[in-house]
Amino acid sequence: MKILVTGGAGFIGSNIVLKLLCEDHEVVVVDNLSSGFEMNVDPRCCFINGDVRDTSCIDRSVQGCRLIFHLAASVGNARSIEKPIDDSTINLIGTLNILEAARRHGVKKVIFSSSAGVFGELKTLPIAEDHPQDPDSPYGTSKLAAEKMCLVYNKLHDMKNVCLRYFNVYGINQRYDAYGNVIPIFALRVLRNKPLTIFGDGEQTRDFVNVQDVAEANIRSGLTDGVAGVYNIGSGTRITINALAALAQKVAGNKVTIKHVPPRKGDVRHSLADISAARKAFNFNPQVEIQSGLTEYMKWLSRDPVTLKQIQGGSK
């Protein structure tokens, strides 16, 4: 099957691409490399350096495809607060461009990468798909709007689009950036024997899910007949940030100091996914627990050429 993956040079997208190639699919990757890396793109792919805001590029890329995994996005609460127009243009208008191209070319399913950021501050745990959606940032708002657009296309155009709400994803091909998630930040700083900064008291909890499980969820939801709608994708477990900091030091074999600073705007206190709907719909069953996943990730990170430059060059 010919499949399009937008954002396929990025962290999650590149892991999905590799799984698709291992299953002998023909893969087209569209990525503008704003946050992805060309080294992540398998040479067996057809790689198009393009932007989801470019309608002509997307139209060309979709031709002949039967399934689309849409991961290209502006990611993160902090980035969206600083650049809300970019956030909405990429996440909402970019998604609409994908949906329109899919409609024109007869593609009946788009797997949209959404986020638990659509929920905002949580009222109940664990979080089911019908939990109130009251996002605390432009990022969560743009992802929620894009979800609604995917679901409207299901109604209007007889599509079977799927929205996967990722919780905190980590794993191979995830590199540090200034807006990055806590695991790559902690991992890089521990590898450099630098202090860790924790926002607030550190007793906030997160549901961390390994990228291999997320890639599997994408492919299962994409290839399972009859699957459509919105699904949570997490591990179904949670850990405090204090415990994560301790685990990162244990895995790396380095002891560093911890600095606590005031909480950040837009951060939720607790997070835990109810993944029963995904388990029932497409047999989603996370396999990677946090200690083994973090061990594998830090081994990869310590050999990654981009990260080695950051370590040697004194990056954060």
30 and 67 part of one domain? yes
Q: Average model confidence (pLDDT) for the chain?
A: 94
Does residue 286 have a cis bond before it (omega within 30 degrees)?
no
Q: Give me the count of residues in the chain.
A: 316
Q: Is the pLDDT of residue 115 over 70?
A: yes
155 and 183 part of one domain? no
- State the catalytic residue, choosing from 139, 166, 170, 176: 139
Q: Is 170 a catalytic residue?
A: no
228 and 93 part of one domain? yes
Hey, CA dihedral for 39, 43, 44, 45, is it positive or negative? positive
Contacts by 33-36, CB closer than 8 A, 24 or more apart = 33/9, 35/10, 35/75, 35/177, 36/7, 36/8, 36/9, 36/10, 36/11
Alpha-carbon gap, residue 109 to 158, rounded angstroms: 10
79 and 225 part of one domain? yes
How big is the CA angle at 298 (ends 270 and 22), to the nearest 5 degrees?
A: 95
- Looking at residue 266, what is its pLDDT? 65
294 and 197 part of one domain? yes
128 and 20 part of one domain? yes
Q: Is the pLDDT of residue 167 over 70?
A: yes
Helix runs in 192-267, H state only:
211-223, 241-252
Output DSSP code: residue 203.
Answer: -
Residue pLDDT, tens place only, 28-71: 999 999 999 999 999 999 999 999 999 999 999 999 999 999 99
Domain span at residue 55 reads 2-167+210-233
125 and 160 part of one domain? yes
- Looking at residue 96, what is its pLDDT? 98
Residue pLDDT, tens place only, 203-256: 999 999 999 999 999 999 999 999 999 999 999 999 999 999 999 999 999 999
Q: Is the pLDDT of residue 177 over 80?
A: no
129 and 12 part of one domain? yes
Q: Is the pLDDT of residue 10 over 60?
A: yes
144 and 244 part of one domain? no
Cβ atoms < 10 Å from Cβ of 302: 14
> For residue 109, what are its two tokens?
């399913």
- Looking at residue 313, what is its pLDDT? 63
Alpha-carbon gap, residue 112 to 78, rounded angstroms: 21
Query: At 222, which CATH number?
Result: 3.40.50.720
- Looking at residue 260, what is its pLDDT? 96
Contacts by 243-250, CB closer than 8 A, 24 or more apart = 244/182, 244/183, 244/186, 244/206, 244/208, 244/290, 245/186, 245/196, 245/198, 245/202, 247/290, 247/291, 247/294, 248/183, 248/186, 248/187, 248/190, 248/196, 248/294, 248/298, 249/190
Taking alpha carbons only, the member of 197, 209, 152 closest to residue 11 is: 209
174 and 220 part of one domain? no
Instruction: Give Cα separations from 97 to 101, 114, 142, 146, 242 (angstroms).
Output: 6, 16, 14, 11, 41
93 and 16 part of one domain? yes
- Looking at residue 182, what is its pLDDT? 93
Cβ atoms < 10 Å from Cβ of 135: 22
Domain count across the chain: 2
pTM for the full model? 0.94
Query: At 263, which CATH number?
Result: 3.90.25.10
65 and 90 part of one domain? yes
271 in Cβ contact with 167 (< 8 Å): yes
